[in-house]
Chain A
């Protein structure tokens, strides 16, 4: 299914902390309905809000939204959300596993963990997007995605509600794109899948 000679993308990772939920809520309705790749979202959040996040995101898209479950096969056309208080890992056979190890940069789920393990598996067939946040999580993960040949995107710090997270990432790498929130859906819709 290659388009324009471009290699297809299998998965999109989206990581963010404070100020990133709004970006995602705004982006979801504009995604094409036939998007045939997996989207994996890692948001820092308090452990108490649970299924409400799935419901909230579902209300904005016709794509299926669900919490990632351990050993679950990762399928195209589904938006997965990392469960609270576990790290979410991607296995070689393209399934999820969960891990209750130490928090990383005060975060569990840590964006770095999912980005790094996904980079290992999806290699260059991967897009990773890092959004607004007040924490340095995610930068190491973006570097891993870049080293594996994947496409990295950082929200434009000037466009982010809290620019610390994008800023930290830009200190560590030069991403393929620095993007405003308004442009995310259009970019994703044009990806070859």
Chain B
């Protein structure tokens, strides 16, 4: 049983202050309830006898710090999650992107990369992969390392294949990977167009101009102020007429940049920059 109440609010604040002071990681504008749950989850999973020891370990063991960052930032993702979203990208966004000589796409907060591989597969099927570059960034270097390898659990492939088909995929999904024991390694043709780099949405600046930015299920962890700052960053990083895609429960509505954007389809969280 995991006890979610051992590390108290004030202690969570102490940890977040440590992270900012010692390592420059700023989690102070994250939604509190989630951070607290993740911190407590880790505290019980790793069986710390006291808060003091937990704190000491985070401050003094770089290996553990990595684990801590990875665990509190929720490195969870799927391929072709929300098939209808991918179908809209496939049918309404990719044909427009296809008119550009070079397509630059930014996956911000890509976790272990399943979303990036999904996109690369769609680009390949639209015959656009050869002129695309997929920038995949995350705050957490560990997940990027895994994303770069393109190796995912074979046990997920049935589910992903179903998602792929409902997103409008026409091929045999298994043609994109080779199975090896219990893992599936994705085609290096896909990986060849990806560029992985750590990027912290809280503190790092815009680094390029894109025709499409995807940032899904990251903003739900940020408070409104931080969301507003990140929207500003995306606006700066998008070409005019570029697209911004968010997670299915996130919205650009109510944000300061909303007036510049037009939602592409009523149901999907995809906007186009109009001015």
Using a CB-CB cutoff of 8 Å, which residues 56-77 of chain B contact chain A?
74, 76
**Chain B residues whose C-beta falls within 8 Å of the C-beta of A99 in the assembled complex:** 34, 37, 74, 220-221
- Closest B residue by C-beta to A102: B76
Contacting pair A70 B5 (CB below 8 A)? no
**Minimum Cβ distance to chain B for residue A128 (Å):** 15
**Chain B residues whose C-beta falls within 8 Å of the C-beta of A101 in the assembled complex:** 34, 38, 74, 76
**Minimum Cβ distance to chain A for residue B1 (Å):** 7
Q: Which of A91, A97, A100 contacts B76 (CB 8 A)?
A: A100
Tally A-B pairs: CB < 8 A: 56
Interface SS of chain A: mixed
* Residue A98 at the chain B interface, CB threshold 8 Å: yes
Q: How distant is the Cα of A147 from the Cα of B32 in the complex, in angstroms?
A: 21
* Residue A89 at the chain B interface, CB threshold 8 Å: yes
Contact with A along B196-236 (1 / 0, CB 8 A): 00000000000000000000010011011000000000000
Q: How distant is the Cα of A144 from the Cα of B37 in the complex, in angstroms?
A: 13
**Chain B residues whose C-beta falls within 8 Å of the C-beta of A163 in the assembled complex:** none
Contact with A along B16-41 (1 / 0, CB 8 A): 00000000000000011110111000
**Minimum Cβ distance to chain A for residue B34 (Å):** 5
Contacting pair B31 A91 (CB below 8 A)? yes
Given A100-B74, A100-B76, A113 and B220 contact (CB-CB distance below 8 Å): no
**Chain B residues whose C-beta falls within 8 Å of the C-beta of A98 in the assembled complex:** 220, 249
A-B contact pairs, 28 of them (CB 8 A): A69-B249, A71-B223, A71-B224, A83-B249, A89-B33, A89-B37, A92-B33, A97-B31, A97-B33, A97-B220, A97-B221, A98-B220, A98-B249, A99-B37, A99-B74, A99-B221, A100-B220, A101-B34, A101-B38, A102-B76, A113-B37, A116-B4, A116-B5, A116-B37, A117-B33, A117-B37, A120-B36, A144-B4
Using a CB-CB cutoff of 8 Å, which residues 55-108 of chain A contact chain B?
69-71, 83, 86, 89-92, 97-102
How many residues of chain A get a CB closer than 8 Å to chain B's CBs? Answer: 22
* Residue B168 at the chain A interface, CB threshold 8 Å: no
**Minimum Cβ distance to chain B for residue A84 (Å):** 9
* Residue A140 at the chain B interface, CB threshold 8 Å: yes
**Chain A residues whose C-beta falls within 8 Å of the C-beta of B223 in the assembled complex:** 71
**Interface centre among A89, A99, A113, A147, by most B CB within 10 Å?**
A99
* Residue B98 at the chain A interface, CB threshold 8 Å: no
**Chain A residues whose C-beta falls within 8 Å of the C-beta of B224 in the assembled complex:** 71
* Residue B145 at the chain A interface, CB threshold 8 Å: no
**Chain A residues whose C-beta falls within 8 Å of the C-beta of B9 in the assembled complex:** 92
Nearest 5 interchain pairs by C-beta:
A89-B33, A97-B31, A100-B217, A98-B220, A101-B74
